[in-house]
Amino acid sequence: MAPENCRYTKEHEWIRVEGETGVIGITDHAAGELGDVTFIEFPQPGLEVKKGDPIGTVESVKAASEIYAPVGGTVVEANTRLEEEPELINNSPFEDGWLVKLSLADPAELDGLMDAAAYREYVAGLEK
């Protein structure tokens, strides 16, 4: 399910804006495709990234997958709780399973991302 308060990429990352910060994670679709997540690699706070830059890796029983920044900004926090509880990505991808928080460099970049309805339609097209 794609929450309405998020924006989405074709690589199945989501971003939810909270003030001037973007909270980023992977969608339930991506988590389902990966299978049980076993390890997360995070960027260090202070890292400046551009839209499309890798910001971490999620490893699962099936595969390893790079996570890309849906927008540019500076990493302000990583969800280190996932180091001990990586299953939160599978169990709660939009709440407890978020990956990083970014200070947004250019909020206008959000306009290039899909809204929830467009993302659901995109995923439905992949499943045909």
Q: What is the largest CA-CA distance in the chain?
A: 41
How many Cα atoms occupy the beta-carbon half-sphere of 43 within 13 Å? 23
**Residue 127, pLDDT score:** 77
pLDDT digits (tens, 9 = 90+) for 45-79: 999 999 999 999 999 988 899 999 999 999 999 99
> Residue 23 has which token pair?
């909270």
Q: What percent of the chain has pLDDT over 90?
A: 92
DSSP secondary structure letters along 102-117: EEES-GGGGGGSB-HH
The reported pTM is 0.94
The residues pairing with 68 across neighbouring beta strands, listed in sequence order, are 54
Q: Give the angle 81-103-99 at the CA atoms, nearest 5°.
A: 25
Fold of 7-126: OB fold (Dihydrolipoamide Acetyltransferase, E2P) (2.40.50)
Give the confidence band of 122 by pLDDT, cuts at 50, 70, 90.
Answer: very high
